[in-house]
Amino acid sequence: MDTSARPKNAPYCSNCGYVLTGLTESSKCPECGKPLVEVLTRPGREFPNIGKRYRSKATLFGLPVIDVALGPMEGEPRGKAKGIIAIGDIAIGGVALGGVASGVVALGGVAFGLFALGGVGIGLVTATGGVAVGGMASGGGAAGVLANGGGAVGLVAQGGGAFGLFTRDGRSFGRGGSPGSEAFDTLSWFFGTSLGDPSAFWRPVAVTAGAALLVGALIGLVAWLKLLREPDPAGPA
């Protein structure tokens, strides 16, 4: 269809350009048959193709080894990437990096995964972030089995304010909260030796963030070896 003849404010089919003004009796585009819920477009809702898309030909476990989807492109307001290494506005993968990321290792503004690192990090094993929730959590606010933060809630919790079964802070809300408690002696590899020791601040972050980066590096190594075996001659566009 000649789109130059389309009325300025008329809704149209994004697949074929057919003008959909006055269409009330059908759930599909009369021209191409596509469902209206997928193709109905109104002027002013189009997005410029200023984003980035790349998907490697090499695959692993049914997923592209690398998938990149950043910014608006081809009518999508944001990129959605899914791969062993996924980089996008929304990313899902073995290692996922994005505004919203979900994966084995997730790094992003909001991150969900086994190992999470982000502004808000939710990780089954470890979580690091401004807000961190996980098995082992370290952040400005932290909740987990082992939790360390400005405010911490956990089975064993340490921070400026802490609440849990075993706690270590200035107020000791929970039971067994003395700095020399057996729980903290056993877990000094995570919590440090005492609140007065600098290791109490850097060690929990080193454990949680370090675990995420180590697992991410291992997944990255597997992806790299796969790409060496199946190189993509075109490369990123």
pLDDT tens for each residue of 122-145: 999 999 999 999 999 999 999 999
Q: How far apart are CA 183 and CA 123, in angstroms?
A: 23
What pLDDT score was predicted for residue 24? Answer: 66
Residue reference for tokens 């505004």: 99
What pLDDT score was predicted for residue 179? Answer: 47
**Residue 210, helix vs strand vs coil:** helix
Closest CA relative to residue 211, chosen from 134, 149, 142: 134
Reported confidence tier of residue 72, pLDDT bands at 50, 70, 90: confident
Closest CA relative to residue 88, chosen from 117, 60, 45, 51: 51
**Residue 92, helix vs strand vs coil:** strand
What pLDDT score was predicted for residue 4? Answer: 46
In a 10 Å sphere around its CB, with 0-12 CB exposed, 13-18 middle and 19+ buried, how is residue 119 labelled? middle
Cα–Cα distances (Å) from 105 to 96, 100, 123, 137, 161, in that order, read 6, 12, 9, 15, 29
Residue 234 has pLDDT above 80, yes or no: no
pLDDT digits (tens, 9 = 90+) for 145-197: 999 999 999 999 999 899 999 998 866 544 444 544 788 889 999 998 888 78
Q: How far apart are CA 157 and CA 167, in angstroms?
A: 5
39-43, 62-66, 82-86, 142-146: least confident range? 39-43
Domain boundary assignment for the chain: 1-46, 52-227
What pLDDT score was predicted for residue 17? Answer: 78
Question: How many residues does the structure list for the chain?
Answer: 237
Q: How far apart are CA 106 and CA 154, in angstroms?
A: 22
Token pair for 34? 């596509």
- 159 contact partners, CB below 8 Å, separation of at least 6: 142, 147, 148, 149, 150, 151, 152, 169
Token pair for 68? 């990149």
Residue 2 has pLDDT above 60, yes or no: no
* 212 or 174: which leads in pLDDT: 212
Q: Which amino acid is at 78?
A: R
